[in-house]
């Protein structure tokens, strides 16, 4: 059983940011430091975290919990039916967004939050290589 009341739990969950997260900001700072210029809040399906419009590259930083990371995701024990539906919906939406952007001619690059936290230079190299391959 949850130790918090439904209103307390709702308040806590509402406080979790959906954008400008720590891993996202770290990647943005590192890319900017490498001289790579990008856009944020760019209007595309799925609202990518970082966009390179000239190269048509969309970058997403996915949270391990919210997008079911194969290394770190664990099913919540409380209200499990709700969370299964929620997280499955997120994963299905991610796949649909990937397909939609690819059909529009965009290259999609996705990182897990733990990749950014542990291997930031590797993530920056991946984005840089993707941009070079797109001309």
Residue 20, sorted as left (phi over 0), alpha (psi -120 to 50) or beta, turns out to be: left
pLDDT at 63: 93
Whole-angstrom Cα distance, residue 88 to residue 126? 27
Q: At what angle do helices 120-133 and 22-33 cross, to 10 degrees?
A: 60
pLDDT band at 131 (very low <50, low <70, confident <90, very high): very high
Whole-angstrom Cα distance, residue 57 to residue 64? 22
Which CATH number is 18-133's, of 3.60.10.10, 3.40.960.10, 1.20.1600.10, 3.40.50.970? 3.40.960.10
Percent of the chain residues topping a pLDDT of 90:
73
3-class state of residue 108 by DSSP: strand
For 79-88, the pLDDT digits (tens) are: 889 889 999 9
Residue 122 burial by Cβ neighbours in a 10 Å radius (0-12, 13-18, 19+): exposed
Mean pLDDT of 54-70: 94
For 22-58, the pLDDT digits (tens) are: 999 999 999 999 999 999 989 999 999 999 999 999 9
User: Strands across the sheet with 50-52, in order?
Assistant: 50-52, 57-62, 107-112
Domain ranges of the chain: 18-133
pLDDT at 15: 73
């Amino acid at each position: 059983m949850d130790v918090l009341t439904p209103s307390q739990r709702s308040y806590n969950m509402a406080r979790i940011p959906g954008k400008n997260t720590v891993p996202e900001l770290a990647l943005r700072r590192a890319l900017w430091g490498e001289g790579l210029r990008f856009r944020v809040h760019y209007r595309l399906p799925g609202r990518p975290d970082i966009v390179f419009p000239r190269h048509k590259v969309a970058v997403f930083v996915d949270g391990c919990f919210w997008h079911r990371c194969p290394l770190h995701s664990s099913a919540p024990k409380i209200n499990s039916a709700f969370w299964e539906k929620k997280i499955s919906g997120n994963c299905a939406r991610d796949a649909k967004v990937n397909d939609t952007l690819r059909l529009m001619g965009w290259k999609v690059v996705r990182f897990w939050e733990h990749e950014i936290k542990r291997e930031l230079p590797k993530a920056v190299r991946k984005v840089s290589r993707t941009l070079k391959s797109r001309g």
